[in-house]
Chain A
Amino acid sequence: MTVAAEGLPPLRTTRARRNALLQSEPVQGFALISPTLLYALILLVLPILVVIAHSFWTQHYLTIDRTFTLENYRVALTEPIYRDLLWRSLYISLTVSLFTVVLAYPIAYFISFHGGRHKSLWLFLITIPFWTSYLLRVMSWKVILGYNGVLNSGLMGLGIIDEPSTALLYNSSAVIITLTHAWAAFAILPIFVSLEKVDRTLVEAATDLGDDPLRSFLRVTLPLSAPGIISAALIVMIPTVGDYVTPKLVGGKDGVMIANTIQAQFGKAANWPLGAALSVTTMLIVSLMAGATVLIIRTLQRMAR
Chain B
Amino acid sequence: MPEQPRIERTHADRIQSERPMIEIRSVTRSYGAFRALDDASLTIREGEFFSLLGPSGCGKTTLLRMIAGFDNPTSGSIAVGGQSMEGIPANRRPTNMVFQSYAIFPHLNVEQNVAYGLKRLKLRGGEEKRRVEEALAQVSLTGLGKRLATELSGGQRQRVALARALVMRPKVLLLDEPLSALDKKLREQMQVELRRLQQAVGITFVLVTHDQYEALAMSDRIAVMFGGKIAQVASPKEIYQRPVNRQVADFLGGMNFVKAEIVEENGASLIVDTLGFGRIKTDKPKAFVRNGGGATLGIRPERLRVLWDNATAKFEVAGKVVERHYFGEITHLIVEIPGLEKPLSVTETNDFGADDIPVGTSIRLAYDPEALVAMAD
Contact = CB atoms under 8 A, between A and B. Distances in A.
Interface string A185-201: 00000000000000101
Interface string B161-173: 0001100100000
B131 to A, nearest CB: 13
A222 to B, nearest CB: 10
Chain A interface helix/strand/loop/mixed: helix
A209 B68 CA distance: 11
Interface string B68-94: 101000000000000000000111100
Contacts of B106: 202, 224
B97 A210 contact: no
Nearest to A219: B116
A209 B96 contact: yes
A260 interface: no
B235 interface: no
A202 B116 CA distance: 12
A305 B91 contact: no
B263 interface: no
Nearest to B101: A201
Nearest to A215: B120
Nearest to A200: B103
A295 to B, nearest CB: 17
Contacts, number: 59
Given A204-B99, A205-B97, A205-B99, A210 B105 contact: no
B353 interface: no
B120 A206 contact: no
Contacts of B103: 199, 201-202, 204-205
Contact of A210 (B70, B99, B168): B168
A207 B90 CA distance: 6
Contact of A301 (B97, B107, B120): B107
B107 A206 contact: no
A215 B92 CA distance: 13
Contacts of B108: 305
B112 interface: yes
A17 to B, nearest CB: 35
B117 interface: yes
Given A215-B120, A305-B112, A208 B105 contact: no
Contacts of B165: 208-209
A201 B165 CA distance: 14
A223 interface: yes
Contact of A207 (B91, B105, B121): B91
Interface residues of A, number: 19
A210 to B, nearest CB: 5
A220 interface: yes
Contacts of A212: 89, 91
A202 B96 CA distance: 14
A198 B96 CA distance: 21
Contacts of B168: 209-210
Contacts of B116: 206, 209, 219
A243 interface: no
A147 B370 CA distance: 98
A240 to B, nearest CB: 29
B249 to A, nearest CB: 35
A26 to B, nearest CB: 28
Contact of B120 (A211, A223, A224): A211
Interface string A57-82: 00000000000000000000000000
A211 B97 CA distance: 14
Contacts of B99: 201, 204-205
Contacts of A305: 107-108, 112
Interface in A266-305: 301, 305
A208 B91 contact: yes
Nearest to B93: A208
A154 B266 CA distance: 91
A208 B70 CA distance: 9
Nearest to B99: A201
A209 B101 contact: no
Contacts of B105: 202, 205-206, 220
A208 B112 contact: no
B264 to A, nearest CB: 55
Contacts of A301: 107
A85 B306 CA distance: 97
A210 B117 contact: yes
- By Cβ-Cβ distance, the 6 closest A-B pairs, closest first, are A209-B117, A205-B103, A201-B103, A208-B97, A207-B90, A207-B91
13 contacts: A201-B99, A202-B106, A204-B70, A205-B97, A207-B89, A208-B70, A208-B91, A208-B96, A209-B116, A209-B168, A210-B91, A210-B92, A305-B107
Interface of B: 68, 70, 89-92, 95-97, 99, 101, 103, 105-108, 112, 116-117, 120-121, 164-165, 168
Given A201-B99, A205-B105, 19 more contacts: A199-B103, A204-B70, A204-B103, A205-B164, A207-B91, A208-B68, A208-B95, A209-B91, A209-B164, A209-B165, A210-B92, A210-B117, A210-B168, A211-B120, A215-B120, A219-B116, A224-B106, A301-B107, A305-B107
